[in-house]
Structure 1
Amino acid sequence: MGIEWELHSARPTRKGPSRNTLLRGSYEHGEALSRVLGTLDRHGSGTLGRVEPYGDTLFNEQEARAARREVAALLQECTDHHQEAALLDLAELLEACAAAPGSYVWFMGD
């Protein structure tokens, strides 16, 4: 199981030209991100805990900003360099989303 994530300039659609809004994607850290996010309380107050491991989840720029703060705490709990690389890549993408009004991060669960 893995989670891929993409940065889009506007809300992506499941049907149609979502590739027209694609700015950047991350497809190599899915397994490691799944392991990290699997440790979170899915019913807690955190933003990253809402990422659906088996479905799609969208974050707008405000949610990306909140999730970015959570990544910093998760980095302290990494158990291997794969998890750290996944979180650093995610942090960069969340930062870009937070700085671009109207953008979205699309998490695609396996």
Structure 2
Amino acid sequence: MITMGVELELHAKRPILDWGRSRTTLIHGSYEHGDALTDVLVGMDGDDQSNIGRVDPYGDTLFNEQQAEAALREVPGLLQQCSDQSQTAAVLDLMGLLQSCSQTPGSYLWFVGD
């Protein structure tokens, strides 16, 4: 049972992992696909050593621009694991933020888990 979802935030530089104080570096946030994204992440193989496989859906995970670029190569496999349209939309949203992060020098993608 999933009660909270993973939210995504793209930051111009490494954010302070404090919800209130991190607003100054925020470029874009994605908050509408959290539950579906969590379902996809939880459904991944527990032994998965990929970049996306290291995301903690219940804690916070940061990707820098190089990690985001590497994670982009994993999106096609993640899309194949989607079981419905909401999960597909969540992964496509993630893909867009990974692309933005990989193309923005010094940026970070923050996976805000709960």
In the TM superposition, what whole-angstrom CA distance separates every residue of 1:33-91 from its partner, at most 9, and x where no partner exists? 01111122344220011111111100000111111111121112211000000011110
Give the one of 5, 11, 15 matched to 1:12. 15
1:98 Cα deviation after fit: 0.3
* Alignment-derived partner of residue 109 in structure 1: 113
TM-score for the superposition, normalised by structure 1: 0.93
Uncovered stretches (5+) of structure 2, i.e. residues with no partner: none
* Alignment-derived partner of residue 59 in structure 1: 63
* Alignment-derived partner of residue 75 in structure 1: 79
Uncovered stretches (5+) of structure 1, i.e. residues with no partner: none
- Mapping of 1:91-102 within 5 angstroms? 91-102=95-106
Instruction: Name the stretch that deviates more: 18-27 or 36-45.
Output: 36-45
Take 1:24 and 1:6, find their aligned partners in 2: how far apart are those partners? Answer: 6
Take 2:74 and 2:23, find their aligned partners in 1: how far apart are those partners? Answer: 28
* Alignment-derived partner of residue 51 in structure 2: 47
Read off the aligned partner of 2:93 and give its amino acid letter.
Answer: D
TM-score for the superposition, normalised by structure 2: 0.90
Take 1:31 and 1:43, find their aligned partners in 2: how far apart are those partners? Answer: 22
Number of aligned positions between the proteins: 110
- Determine what percentage of the aligned residue pairs are the same residue: 59
CA contact (8 A) 1:8 1:24 kept: yes
* Alignment-derived partner of residue 90 in structure 1: 94
Read off the aligned partner of 2:53 and give its amino acid letter.
Answer: G
CA contact (8 A) 1:10 1:103 kept: yes
